[in-house]
Each structure stands twice: as C-alpha cells, then as structure tokens.
Structure 1
Amino acid sequence: MAFVHLDVVRFYTLLICAVFSSVSSNAEIKVNPPQDFEIVDPGYLGYLCLQWQPPLSLENFEECTVEYELKYRNIDSEDWKTIITKNLHYKDGFDLNKGIEAKIHTLLPPHCTNGSKVQSLWSEATYWIAPQGNQETKIQEMDCVYYNWQYLYCSWKPGMGVHFNTSYQLFYWYDGLDHATQCAEYIQVDGQNIGCRFPYLEASDYKDFYICVNGSSDSDPVRPSYFIFQLQNIVKPLPPDYLIITVKNSEEVNLKWATPNGPIPAKCFIYEIEFTEDDTTWVTTTVENELHTTRISNKSQQLCFSVRSKVNIYCSDDGIWSEWSGKQCWKGLLWRKRSLLSSGHILLTQ
C-alpha cells in the first residue's frame, strides 16, 4: 500500500511539473506591438490611411506569417470596426467633423506558439482636425440630390450670424480623382455661394463621395463641415409619363405607364401609385410599370391615377421619390356613351 501511495504522489508531482513547465514555456513567448503606428491624412476630405511598421525582435518568428488586429472608430461611436490584416496599412473613410481613434496589436499564429494564442500589447493613435471658428459659423441644412442619376446638385444655408462678407467654398473627392477638387459652378444668392452644380462625375457610383464646405471671412474664422455619401443613394429620378388607363367589362382596370427617361435601368425602379375612385383614394407600390385592379363600385363615375418613381433596393440602399406624374382619368359617363357603340373595352390617353 505504501508503494501505491508513493506512485500516486509521484504521478501528481510529475503532472503538476508538466503543467507549470507548459505555462512557463508559453509565458516566455512574447511579441512586441507594431512600431510607428499613425493616422495619415492625404487630403482626401476624410479618406485616411492607418499605417505602421513591423514590431521589433521578430528574429525568432522569421518563418511565421505575422498578422495585425486593427480597431478604429470615430470617437463618439459605440462600435469599433475590426480588421485582421497581414499588410502594413489600411485605408477607410471617416467623419472629419469628429475625432478618430485607432489601436493595433500584433498576432502570432498558433503553429508558431505551440498552439497558444499570443498577442502583443496595443499601440494607439488618434487624429482630429483642430476646430476653428464657432460652431454657429458652419453651413446649415446641407442637401445633395443626384437628379436622374446624371446631375448632382448640393445646396446649403449660411451659418447663423455670420458676417455678410463670409464666402463658402465646396471641395469634393472620390476614388478616381487625383486630388480634392473645388466646385466649378456655384449657385449664388446676393453674391454668396449657397450651392454647387457638379460636372459629369465619371465612375463615381457605388463609391464613398466626400465633401467639405469651408469658408472665409474678414471678421471671424468659419468652421468647415464634412459629409460622406454614395451617389446612388441620393438619386431622384424623373416621374413616369405616358400614363394609360384601360377599363374592360366595366370592372377590370389596367394602369400602365412608361419607364422614366434617362440612364437608370428599368430593373432599378420601384413605383408608387395613387389611385382614386370617386372620393376613395388608396396607394400601393410595384416594381412593374403596370398594375391590374378592379373598380370598387360599378356606380363610380371617375377613376384617376398618378405615379412616382424611386430607385429600388436592388440598385441602392436608399433613394428619393420623384415628383408625381400628371393624373390620368377615366370618366364613367364617357365610358357608357362609347359602350353603346362598341362593347368590350375603352382606352383613354391624355
């Protein structure tokens, strides 16, 4: 029995030594954080570069592929964006109205560390544009619309209480331009810039579009305003036209209209139809440029409808409804008069 007890003690002693030896072995594996981590502004109005250099003392991991875990956000955001990369830089867009913070650490893959997870301490960086001018000097009510996926217009109102000689300038950039470009055609009221008509923007869809509106004044500094959006999400198409209403057998109603003119593909439209039968009105939507319905009552004397269009979720994340088309109507007395001459259906167009 004494020998059995001794063997058990020896077994547990060896097990504990093995565990501590493993912990000690893994604890000795360390890696430094990346060097020279910084946030660089190349002058693209919010498109920034986060860059770094490899950590010191990587001689023991020459055959390992070192990775980096990068986290970044605007300072007032609750959520960090996280990227795992093998590169020494990463680019993304930020709201320059607010500060930016980022942190990064080195990761060693398990096959280089006896299967354990080894990471360095964090290296941190921040970036912000030093504010100038009072908050009230910023422009107000910035509104940008991409009309018919062809022509971009932006407009704004001057800041509150700014001096009459305050002059605002708009600059923009998107991937494909060599540098930030100033508006070439301002919209003015009383000699003051309150908007911009943009030229043709080649290959600008489905990219972040960056805008800065800053200003100058003889009296006080003017605080700049920064904006980021994608053009396909602010498209306002033309309204449909060539509306046709067809009534068959005094009950079946067919509404049809033409796809709006312009470069927007037919598959990209959604339509909203407002249909009125005497004093009753209802609204529905469809992705087709045709709608079938029935009359509520055979005694109704007038049917009218109008249509508006918008870019649908298959081509954008959002959009702006067009203006309503003109109304197309059918009147019951006219239908009855013609039905005496020819039973079947009636076709009315404007």
Structure 2
Amino acid sequence: AGRPIWGMTLQVLISGEVLSKSLIGTETQPPVTNLSVSVENLCTIIWTWNPPEGASPNCSLSYFSHFGNKQDKKIAPETHRSKEVPLNERICLQVGSQCSTNESEKPSILVEKCISPPEGDPESAVTELQCIWHNLSYMKCSWLPGNNTSPDTNYTLYYWHSSLGKILQCENIYSEGQRIGCSFNLKDSSLEQGSVQIMVKDNAGKIRPSFNVVPLSSYVKPDPPDIKNLSFKNDGLYVEWKNPENFESKCLLYQLEINNSHTICYKDTCFKVKEIKCQSSEFYFTSKDRICFMVPSILPDTLNTVRIRARTSKFCYEDNNLWSNWSRAMSIGKKTNSTLYITVLLIIPVIIAVAIIALLLYLKRLKIIIFPPIPDPGKIFKEMFGDQNDDTLHWKKYDIYEKQTKEETDSVVLIENLNQTAP
C-alpha cells in the first residue's frame, strides 16, 4: 500500500465494528477478520480482509460488500476491494461473508472500515476543481481559491494515471482571471478507457488538499475542424473540412454556421457526418480524415461566410456537450460593391430629412387653410377709433409747428429789410 502524498495519517474506525446481524441459525458464517484500508496513488482506496475464523468446511466462501450508502453492491470470492474516488469525503466499506454468490442469502455480521478526508479546514480547500482533456493531447485543470486562504498562496497540482510509474507534479501553473490552473501533456491511446487522479494543495501545507478523478471517456474537447474548400453546385454549397487531429469522423458531431445565422444540424442537435463524397470535380481529397457535406438552397449571388465546430459523440465518449472553438471563417460568392453600399447609406438619410422638412411645411400650410386665424374684435375697434384720434392729433401738432416756423421766418425777413432802407 502506498503512503498518501499529503503526509497525513489516515483516520480509520476501529476494525470489527458490528453494524448488523442476521439470525439464520447455526449455519450463519462468522464475520471477516483483519479488515484494513489503505490509499494508493492519489485516489485509489483499497480494503483487504482475512477469511472468517471457524468457517464451515463445507462452505464455498464469498464476500458481500457495499459502501456506506448501500451502493455498488458486490459478491465475489476475493478478499479485497478497491475504489477510485476523490478523497474529499468520508468513505466506508461494509463487508460480510456468506456461503454462496446468491444475493438473496443474508451475509454474516457486517464489518465496516472507513477512511476520513485529509486534515485541514474544509473552507481552505480549493473549489470548482475541473479538468478538460484537450484534443486527446493535454489536460488543463483549473480551480478557484478557497474562502479561508491567503491571496499569495502558492498552489501545486499532482496527477497520476495508469501509464505513469509514479505521481508527477504539474509545472505549468497559470492564472485566468480569478481561476488558477495547470496544464500537462496527456497523449496515450491506451488511456481512453482509464482515468486521471488529481490533487491540488499548497506548498506550505496550510490548506486542505482537494481531489478529483477525471474519467478519460468524458470531458474531452476537440480542436476546431479546418475548412479546406467551398464550392457551389446544383443549388447547393459543398463544404469540405479536415477533422481535428486524433479523432475519427464516427467519434465527432459537427455544427455548421452560415452567415452567422443558419445552423445546420442532424441528429442529437447537430448532424453526424458519415463518409459523404462530394459530387463535385473540385474536391480531389479522399483521405479518411476529410469530410464533405452539401448544404442545400445556398446560391452564389451573395457572399456566404462559413464556419464549423465539433464535439465528441456518445459512440466513442460520454456526451458532455463540450464544443470546440469555431473554426476560421471562409467565404464564397459575390462580394457586395462597397462603394455603392456606402453611397446608398449616405443618400438614404438625406432623402429622409428632406421628406420630413417638406412634410412639416406642407402640414403647416394645410393647417392654415383648414383652420384660418379668427379676427380679434378688440383690435378692429381700436383701429376704427383709437388709431384715428391719434392720427388727428398728430396732424394738428404738425400744423401748429409749421405755422410757428413760418411766423418766425417772416419776422427775421422783415428786420433785414428795415436795416437796408435806413440812410
């Protein structure tokens, strides 16, 4: 049995704790002995026990075992059992002996052995620990810091899988916003049915370690496909692309997007492409990693932009709905004249403005015709009486002023004449 890497002492319940008793007379088998538990690698728990003492010689012993939640029941002749599980919670195994593999037969007294999670404050452990296997080439694990942790905590990630002879440490620690992560190479075809055991802790040993077991049949994210060719024929658009490396066509589902609006799907939300051969002379590739698909009712009179993405199918992996990124976009068709397009965009607002002004002027004139202004009677009487009196006074003042001016002028002239006649 290997020693846990976090250097803690396992907390195990006392062996031989009786949980239940079945009364089936003198033929009841005695309980198993020396039940013990240990941890190997990072997340592999192993229980071992010895056959019961004083068992009937005519009994072909089998052992009935299940975990504390009464799940994963098993009846087998082996005197050991293992489970690959994250060690974040308390895990218990109950074992009893019986004389057959018949599940209906009641076993002996059940003996339980438990393993507790590692020591430390549960609030200090990292949260949302998740790992994704990218393109069957490398794995990226990321997490959020625990609540009771210092911002300058230095984290370390350890990993193990069946192809490794020992536990390795991940070196490529990085940060993405609030999340912290690490990536490591993982490219081995023999691993697709196995799992990777993960543990995250700090270098100082102040936080509680956190564990994860990642099945390699799930959490697989392929790279985006690579579009190789586009062609029009028979009122349809032929799209050819190359599969992402390390994947076969039968293991992928595809989603095709045209002009950011039309999504073509087939089965399970998206179409599953088989080995379709394009009916076009422009496609010369026959390699098994190249796929061709015809999208109907796409005409070449407009510019069409195509991109594609993929995810794993349930025929090869568990359906986890992890889509790849979109591929680079490729366009085909007639490109719209940008000069004409800009001119139209400039002319349309001017036409609209002129039309609005003309409409406003027309509406104002139409309002005057339909609803002419009502005369003010007070103004009419004022013009008839008040304005005429004012004009009469004005003319009277003007006559008086004119007469005064003439009299003064005459007197001056008279004086000048007298002076001229004197001797």
Matched, 1:281 2:235: no
Matched, 1:256 2:209: no
| 1:314 aligned counterpart, secondary structure | coil
- Partner residue, 1:167: 154
Q: What aligned pairs does 1:49-68 form with structure 2 within 5 A after superposition?
A: 49-58=46-55, 60-61=56-57, 63-68=58-63
| 2:218 aligned counterpart, secondary structure | helix
How much has 1:110 moved relative to structure 2? Answer: 9.0
Matched, 1:86 2:73: no
Matched, 1:301 2:286: no
How much has 1:242 moved relative to structure 2? Answer: 2.9
* Residues 252/227 of structure 1: CA separation in 2 closer, same or farther (3 Å cut): same
Q: What aligned pairs does 1:196-275 form with structure 2 within 5 A after superposition?
A: 196-200=182-186, 202=188, 203-217=190-204, 221-249=206-234, 251-260=235-244, 262-275=245-258
How much has 1:117 moved relative to structure 2? Answer: 4.0
Q: Which has the higher contact order (CA 8 A, sep 6+)?
A: 1
How much has 1:216 moved relative to structure 2? Answer: 4.1
How much has 1:103 moved relative to structure 2? Answer: 0.7
Q: What aligned pairs does 1:322-341 form with structure 2 within 5 A after superposition?
A: 322-332=324-334
Q: Is the 8 A contact 1:186 1:194 kept in 2?
A: no
Q: What aligned pairs does 1:77-226 form with structure 2 within 5 A after superposition?
A: 80-109=71-100, 117=105, 119-135=107-123, 137-160=124-147, 162-183=149-170, 185-188=171-174, 194-200=180-186, 202=188, 203-217=190-204, 221-226=206-211
Counterpart-to-counterpart distance in 1, 2:133 and 2:81: 30
For residues 63-106 of structure 1, the C-alpha deviation after alignment (integer angstroms, 9 at most, x for no partner) is 43211111015xxxx55111111010011212211110111111
Counterpart-to-counterpart distance in 2, 1:271 and 1:237: 11
How much has 1:198 moved relative to structure 2? Answer: 1.4
How much has 1:130 moved relative to structure 2? Answer: 4.2
* Residues 332/83 of structure 1: CA separation in 2 closer, same or farther (3 Å cut): same
What's the % identity of the aligned pairs?
A: 23
Counterpart-to-counterpart distance in 2, 1:306 and 1:232: 27
- Partner residue, 1:10: none
Matched, 1:313 2:314: yes
For residues 203-231 of structure 1, the C-alpha deviation after alignment (integer angstroms, 9 at most, x for no partner) is 433212110101144xx821111111123
- Could you tell me the TM-score, scaled by structure 2's length? 0.61
* Residues 223/119 of structure 1: CA separation in 2 closer, same or farther (3 Å cut): closer
Unmatched runs of 5 consecutive residues or more in structure 1: 1-25, 335-350
Matched, 1:46 2:40: no
| Count of matched residue positions in the alignment of Structure 1 and Structure 2 | 288
How much has 1:128 moved relative to structure 2? Answer: 0.8
* Residues 198/295 of structure 1: CA separation in 2 closer, same or farther (3 Å cut): same
Counterpart-to-counterpart distance in 2, 1:41 and 1:280: 53
Unmatched runs of 5 consecutive residues or more in structure 2: 1-23, 274-290, 337-423
Q: Greater CA deviation, 100-109 or 234-243?
A: 234-243
- Partner residue, 2:25: 27
Letter in structure 1 aligned against 2:154: S
| 1:267 aligned counterpart, secondary structure | helix
Q: What aligned pairs does 1:1-16 form with structure 2 within 5 A after superposition?
A: none
Q: Is the 8 A contact 2:31 2:96 kept in 1?
A: yes
Counterpart-to-counterpart distance in 2, 1:110 and 1:257: 54
For residues 12-55 of structure 1, the C-alpha deviation after alignment (integer angstroms, 9 at most, x for no partner) is xxxxxxxxxxxxxx73322111112232223x222110111101
| 1:81 aligned counterpart, secondary structure | coil
How much has 1:174 moved relative to structure 2? Answer: 1.9
Counterpart-to-counterpart distance in 2, 1:182 and 1:324: 32
Counterpart-to-counterpart distance in 2, 1:142 and 1:194: 10
- Could you tell me the TM-score, scaled by structure 1's length? 0.72
| 2:191 aligned counterpart, secondary structure | coil
Where is the helix percentage greater, Structure 1 or Structure 2? 2
How well do the aligned residues superpose, as a CA RMSD in angstroms? 3.1
Larger radius of gyration: 2
How much has 1:172 moved relative to structure 2? Answer: 1.3
Counterpart-to-counterpart distance in 1, 2:328 and 2:157: 36
For residues 175-217 of structure 1, the C-alpha deviation after alignment (integer angstroms, 9 at most, x for no partner) is 243332222x232459xx9332314554433212110101144
Where is the strand percentage greater, Structure 1 or Structure 2? 1
| 1:273 aligned counterpart, secondary structure | strand
| 2:73 aligned counterpart, secondary structure | strand
Letter in structure 1 aligned against 2:182: C
Q: Is the 8 A contact 1:31 1:118 kept in 2?
A: no
